[in-house]
Amino acid sequence: MTAQETTTQPAGKPVGVAVLGMGTVGTEVVRLLRENADDFTHRIGGPVELRGIAVSDLGKDRPGIDRALLTDDALSLVNRDDVDIVVEVIGGIDYPRELILAALNAGKSVVTANKALVAAHADALSEAADNAGVDLYFEAAVAAAIPVVGMLRRSLAGDRIERIFGIVNGTTNFILDAMTSTGATYEDALAEATRLGYAEADPTADVEGHDAASKAAILASLGFHTRVNFDDVYCEGITRITAEDIDAATKVGYTIKLLAICEKITGDDGEEQVTARVHPTLIPSSHPLASVSKSYNAIYVDAEAAGSLMFYGNGAGGDPTASAVLGDLVGAARNKVHGGRAPGDSTYANLAVADFGDVPTRYHIDMLVNDRTGVLADIATRFSAKGISLRTVRQEEQERHSHARLIVVTHQAREADLRDMVAELEASEDVQKVSSVIRLDG
Amino acid sequence: MTAQETTTQPAGKPVGVAVLGMGTVGTEVVRLLRENADDFTHRIGGPVELRGIAVSDLGKDRPGIDRALLTDDALSLVNRDDVDIVVEVIGGIDYPRELILAALNAGKSVVTANKALVAAHADALSEAADNAGVDLYFEAAVAAAIPVVGMLRRSLAGDRIERIFGIVNGTTNFILDAMTSTGATYEDALAEATRLGYAEADPTADVEGHDAASKAAILASLGFHTRVNFDDVYCEGITRITAEDIDAATKVGYTIKLLAICEKITGDDGEEQVTARVHPTLIPSSHPLASVSKSYNAIYVDAEAAGSLMFYGNGAGGDPTASAVLGDLVGAARNKVHGGRAPGDSTYANLAVADFGDVPTRYHIDMLVNDRTGVLADIATRFSAKGISLRTVRQEEQERHSHARLIVVTHQAREADLRDMVAELEASEDVQKVSSVIRLDG
């Protein structure tokens, strides 16, 4: 058997590209497409031609852009016969979903940077791509130019992924890093992030962990060959993290990071399940993830044969996102010229998504308790009764002698049991206040 | 235009695989192929079947391997009609070259882990693959499962690579790390590496930097779209690094690592040139590469739009190498089933390889000079006369007052000028001995 190179594109005919959206990323994509046009021709095996750019505001001044390329009718642009690949960098969900589905249904390959869309509607998008036999690329949806999507789809395609975890949101890492290095409050660090352009005017999607949860859904889906949607991801943001939490963590050699954690666990029935979650996490300050500063991202992938791999870089911003989009565009264009398809959706393993209550986690609980003889023993007994082992217990003297500060770090236990335990502590007469509850890892 | 999915393989017909070599990597490849067979079927879109394994010693005991699969006639196995993909994990150059060329010429795709072969004969291999329209994959040739080959070929295909540098040889990193952390001599650290299996019985290829140079040639070729062969790489190993060098470096906040450095420079004619080199390098101990311990690898890729990306993991060993081989195998098998070709060789940029003498480098020179008034001024004048600026000069008192120790760190200068300067120092009556010369980076 000899493989044949299949040309679905008459030789020399250019690949037509439509770019939807002309924000930071779209502007960079268009600039690099033009500046590096010769390189693209060589790398693809034929020229790429920009057919049009869909924008919402035709009147806006866009220096260096041929106005004839601009349109505010994105759907018509998508449907043009001379458009082979659609690049979606608009953002949002419903509108780009409609455009992408139209593109795929019309046999155009799609490159998108839209994590929220991919995490919410992967099934519909993937089905449309499969039906039309075209490509759906979304490297830029996770950690920009850090090529973790391509790695999971291709490089590790012969391995078994066990765990994926790391820092996948630059805004929250910037805020937590600022709080850690300067002692700033959450509010002040957020204001600084906004001032410097690391946080958007409405920072909700970042600080509440939604952005990271979309990425966790995508990573878990790819890594475990199982559909994991945004709604399947347990998600807790950083808005409740205080300067006191950071200070207490630093003092005992820990750093607080917002981590996305995707892993396989064994269910009660002995079957493998998958879980994905995003929450503030205490990690040892000696862990490489603890040194990831500013808005950088870093992702660990643990695989059976490959072992532990780590990828680090700038996970956001116009340029790095454009790099990922253009890498995908070269791939999609190569397939238009030479035939073949990128690895599509792979959900054959179809594992159950674990109930988060069943997932083993570890808690760091900081509380104020009555300062009376025997209180420590009583509280330890409560943990023991729930089957939760303690790794460390630290009691600190307080200025007022009516209470003591008690910091408890548990071993791994069922999330639901730990949560019940916290509720029980909060209800206990011996506990004046549970000041903070943060999960631990690493 | 609609892309069509092209099947070059009748539906359901398995993809036949031959494995050449049954050492550490081959054994793992065969084991994982068998254990994860169902996964491979799903990921590829059809089953993979192992047709045979070529070994040099048919008599050797190989538990769990069906003896009917074994042959000592590799060429006949390669040429079997039911073999679609050949996996080469023998090592060496001439013999595997002959087998791989036979496979490619017969229309079989090839997956190899053979860095020495790819770095020495890329033109011939690539031409044969192109002529037959088949795939030549070699992710495992550089840093095992760290997917830097795939990243350069695909993920960063829309970007411009400016620099690639890092630790790409586990054996030498193990030795240097042991010398740094324990104060051991080179000889003792090498003995320990050999005892633990990190160094081969004949460690020449590793300790002389040849292995790293092959990887540098591959990385530079991929990154700069230019053919860079093994012979184009300047190569200096670690055999002359002494415990004193390590100690002196540590004292001033530096760590010695064997780095592969590939970069673009501007020639005298204003044209871009490429350069690749491997040598012991002083880097600040605060640099992330300085913390890469044991036999781990870490590679930085600096690209125009993506910025600086870093990849870290286990860069050697049977399991990680098998992971990379199997990822390639899934890719090659997908193309056999669905049509299409992996991105082939891309040398269109065809930049000149710079003469190493013209490459800007920085030197750390440790010497003993006569302890007389004015000697420092005289030596500084010599550097200045050659147009080499000094960044730091440190003079240390010695027990015997007949000489002083002088440690000079230069700014960047032409490698040839720095080398001439060292020769001039060695010839100078004021210099009793040039104890060590190590380049700096980072």
pLDDT value, residue B9: 57
Other beta carbons within 10 Å of B438? 21
Please tell me which residue of chain A has the smallest CA distance to B305. A319
Question: What is the pLDDT averaged over residues A111-119?
Answer: 97
What fold is seen in the domain B15-144+319-338? Rossmann fold (3.40.50)
- Sorted by where each begins, the domain ranges of chain A are 15-144+319-338, 149-314, 357-440
Q: What pLDDT, on the 0 to 100 scale, is given for residue A13? A: 84
For residue A335, is pLDDT > 90?
A: yes
Work out the minimum CA distance from A154 to partner chain B, whole angstroms: 6
Residue B151: closest C-alpha in chain A: A147
Share of residues in chain A with pLDDT > 90 (%):
92
Split at pLDDT 50, 70, 90, the class of A358 is very high
Per-residue pLDDT, A2: 35
pLDDT (average), residues A298-309: 98
| Distance between CA atoms of residues B26 and B52, nearest Å | 12
pLDDT at B160 over 80: yes
What does DSSP say about strands B431-440 and B363-370: parallel, antiparallel, or unpaired?
antiparallel
- The DSSP string of B175-232 is HHHHHHHH---HHHHHHHHHHTTSS-SS-HHHHTSHHHHHHHHHHHHHHHTS---GGG
Between A345 and B377, the higher pLDDT residue: B377
More confident residue, A6 or B107: B107
> What residues of chain A, 381 to 420, have a C-beta less than 8 Å from chain B?
none
CB atoms within 10 A of CB A17: 28
Mean pLDDT across B23-33: 96
CATH number of B150-313: 3.30.360.10
The answer to whether residue B40 neighbours chain A at the CB level (below 8 Å) is yes
Q: CA-to-CA distance for B418 and B357, rounded, in angstroms?
A: 9
Identify the pLDDT of residue B1: 33
3 state DSSP class of A334: helix
Residue A50 clears pLDDT 80, i.e. is over it: yes
DSSP B31-82: HHHHHTHHHHHHHHTS-EEEEEEE-S-TTS--TT--GGGEES-HHHHHH-TT
Whether pLDDT at B6 is above 50: no
Grade residue A402 by pLDDT with cuts at 50, 70 and 90: confident
More confident residue, B59 or A345: B59
User: Which pLDDT score, from 0 to 100, does residue B11 have?
Assistant: 56
| % residues pLDDT > 70 (chain B) | 97
Judged by CB atoms within 8 Å, which residues 75-104 of A form the interface with B? 81, 84
Is there a catalytic annotation at residue B215?
yes
Judged against a pLDDT cut of 50, whether residue A4 lies above it is answered with no
Say if residue A53's pLDDT is above 80. Answer: yes
Q: What is the CATH number of domain A149-314?
A: 3.30.360.10
Mean pLDDT of chain B: 94
Which pLDDT belongs to residue B345? 84
Instruction: Verify whether the Cβ–Cβ distance A132 to B2 is below 8 Å.
Output: yes
pLDDT at B12: 67
Task: Give B396's pLDDT tier (boundaries 50, 70, 90).
Answer: confident
Q: Grade residue A9 by pLDDT with cuts at 50, 70 and 90.
A: low
Q: Which residue type occupies A422?
A: V
Architecture of domain B357-440: 2-Layer Sandwich (3.30)
- At residue A3, does pLDDT exceed 90? no
Q: Given A225, A307, A326, which is nearest B319 (Cβ)?
A: A307
So what's the pLDDT on residue B4? Answer: 37
Same fold, A15-144+319-338 and A149-314: no
In whole numbers, what is the pLDDT of chain A averaged over residues? 94
Q: Does the structure show a pLDDT above 50 at B430?
A: yes
Taking the Cβ of residue B307 and every Cβ of chain A, the question of whether any pair is shorter than 8 Å is answered with yes
